[in-house]
Amino acid sequence: MTTSSAIACSRMYNLSPRISTLWDQLFHWLADRSGVELEVIAHAAPAPLSELWARPDMGAVFMCGFPFSQLSPAERPQPLAAPVSLADWANGQPVYTSHIVAARDKQLTEADLATARWGWTVRDSQSGYNAPREFFAMLANRPSAAQTVGSLLNPRGVVDAIRSDTIDVGAIDAYAFQLMAMHEPDMIAPLRIVATTKPAPFPLLVAARQQSADIVDALRAALLGAHQDTEGSDILASLGLSAFAKPDVAAYDQLPIRARAIDAALGAW
C-alpha cells in the first residue's frame, strides 16, 4: 500500500539540523514499515503551526495537546501515537512536563520567581504558555499579574531571551530540553533548571481526519510496534524515546479545564 498524499513533519521538535535529521530517519523508517509513502516537510518557523495542523494531507505530524483538545471530536485530526520518553519525568508514560529555566549564574528563590520577568512562547502552547502560567499561579505570595515577555515562538526563542537578559525565566518543553541535552548541549549550557511543572499528555502524532482508515491503521500499527523492531528501537533511542503509546484522548480533554482554572486565577499573559 502506498500513497503520495501524506506528509510527515516534526516541526515542534526540529530544534537543530542534527535533530531534524533524526526525525527524518524515523519518518523514513515509518514509511518503509507501514507501506505509506510519506513526504517529509519542514514547515519551518515562523510559518504558523495552525496552518500545518489544518492540512488535509497530514500523515504523521506532531501536534501540541492543547490545540488538539480545543477542537471538537468531529474537527480533530486522527490520533496515531504519543511518545514515551526515557527521561525520569515521564515515568514510563506518554506524558511530558516543562522545565522552568534561568541563566546558570542567576540564583533565584521562589520569592524571586514571583517577581521575575517571565517569557512565554505562543498562547496555544501547553508547554510554553499554559504550563508556566499554571506554575506561576501556584506560587506563594505572587503578585496579581506577572511581568511577561512574548511571544517568543519556541524553545529557541526562550533560550535566546534568557541569554540576552530580556527575561529572567521561561518554560521549555522538557522533551525539547532532553533532545538539546543529548544532541546540542551548547544550546542549553547557559541555562539551569529552576523547577519542573506538572505533567501533561505528550504532544501526539496525528493524521488528517480526511486520511483513509487503511493509511491511518498502517501508520499507527508501525508506530506502536516501533520499539519491537531492531532498527525502530535504535532510532527511538537516538531520540530519547522508549516507545510510542496509544494516546489517551480523555487525558487531553482535561487540558482546557486546567487552562480555564488558570484563566480564572491569572487572566491572560
Interval 103-153: pLDDT, tens: 999 988 888 999 999 999 999 999 999 999 999 999 988 998 889 999 999
What's the pLDDT score for residue 161?
Answer: 97
Domains of the chain by start residue, with CATH: 6-88+201-256 (3.40.190.10), 95-200 (3.40.190.10)
For the CA atoms of the chain, what is the radius of gyration? 18
Q: Over 70: is that where the pLDDT of 158 sits?
A: yes
Kindly state the helix (H) or strand (E) to which residue 81 belongs, with its residue range: strand 78-85
Q: Over 50: is that where the pLDDT of 36 sits?
A: yes
Q: What is the Cα–Cα distance from 126 to 146, expressed in whole angstroms?
A: 18
At 3, the pLDDT band (50, 70, 90 cuts) reads very low
Q: Over 60: is that where the pLDDT of 1 sits?
A: no
Mean pLDDT of 35-55: 95
What order of strands is seen across the sheet that includes strand 6-9?
A: 38-40, 6-9, 58-63, 204-207, 78-85, 241-245
What's the pLDDT score for residue 110?
Answer: 81
Mean pLDDT of 80-89: 98
At 202, the pLDDT band (50, 70, 90 cuts) reads very high
Residue 141 backbone class (left: φ over 0; alpha: ψ -120 to 50; beta: rest): left
Whole-number percent of the chain with pLDDT over 90: 92
Whole-number percent of the chain with pLDDT over 70: 99
What's the pLDDT score for residue 120?
Answer: 97
